């Protein structure tokens, strides 16, 4: 049991983050961007934001496997950044979810009764 806990500690477990900015002006570029996103999803990544995908890996060795797969799927054009951080670092991330500002509703008309 202890060796299992050592294997899954917050400093050994990794998160792989893939950031990308791919061109989508032509049909070919859109298809390449779509294919890259699909390859990330097929490899177990989840969308964190539209151009940021993340994947949890139980070890550095496992992270290396997924990084290699991502590199093999790189499109010819655009920018891609692959970063790995520990589970501990990922857990210290602060997330803020704002709400869409809605316009104020005009006050309803008040009726006066005499």
CATH number at residue 14: 3.30.70.240
Q: Which two tokens stand for residue 24?
A: 């989508």
Lowest mean pLDDT among 37-41, 51-55, 73-77, 101-105: 101-105
44 Rama sector, left if φ>0, alpha if ψ -120 to 50, beta otherwise: left
- d(Cα 38, Cα 36) in Å, to the nearest integer? 5
Residue 94 within a domain: no
Domain with 56, as residue range(s), is 2-87
- d(Cα 20, Cα 76) in Å, to the nearest integer? 12
What is the count of structural domains for the chain? 1
pLDDT band at 17 (very low <50, low <70, confident <90, very high): very high
Q: Cβ distance 14 to 60 under 8 Å?
A: yes
- d(Cα 55, Cα 63) in Å, to the nearest integer? 9
What pLDDT, on the 0 to 100 scale, is given for residue 105? Answer: 67
Residue 29 within a domain: yes
Indicate if the pLDDT at residue 59 is higher than 70: yes
Indicate if the pLDDT at residue 3 is higher than 70: no
What pLDDT, on the 0 to 100 scale, is given for residue 7? Answer: 57
CA dihedral 42, 44, 49, 50 (to 10 degrees): -10
């Amino acid at each position: 049991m202890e060796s299992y806990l050592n294997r899954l500690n917050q400093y050994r477990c990794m998160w792989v983050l893939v950031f990308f900015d791919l061109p989508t002006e032509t049909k070919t570029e859109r298809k390449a961007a779509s294919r890259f996103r699909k390859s990330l999803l097929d490899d177990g990544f989840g969308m964190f934001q539209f151009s940021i995908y993340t994947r949890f890996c139980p070890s550095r060795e496992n992270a290396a496997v997924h990084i290699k797969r991502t590199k093999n799927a790189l499109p010819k054009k655009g920018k891609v950044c692959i970063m790995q951080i520990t589970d501990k670092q990922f857990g210290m991330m602060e997330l803020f979810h704002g709400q869409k500002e809605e316009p104020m509703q005009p006050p309803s008309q008040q009726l006066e009764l005499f």
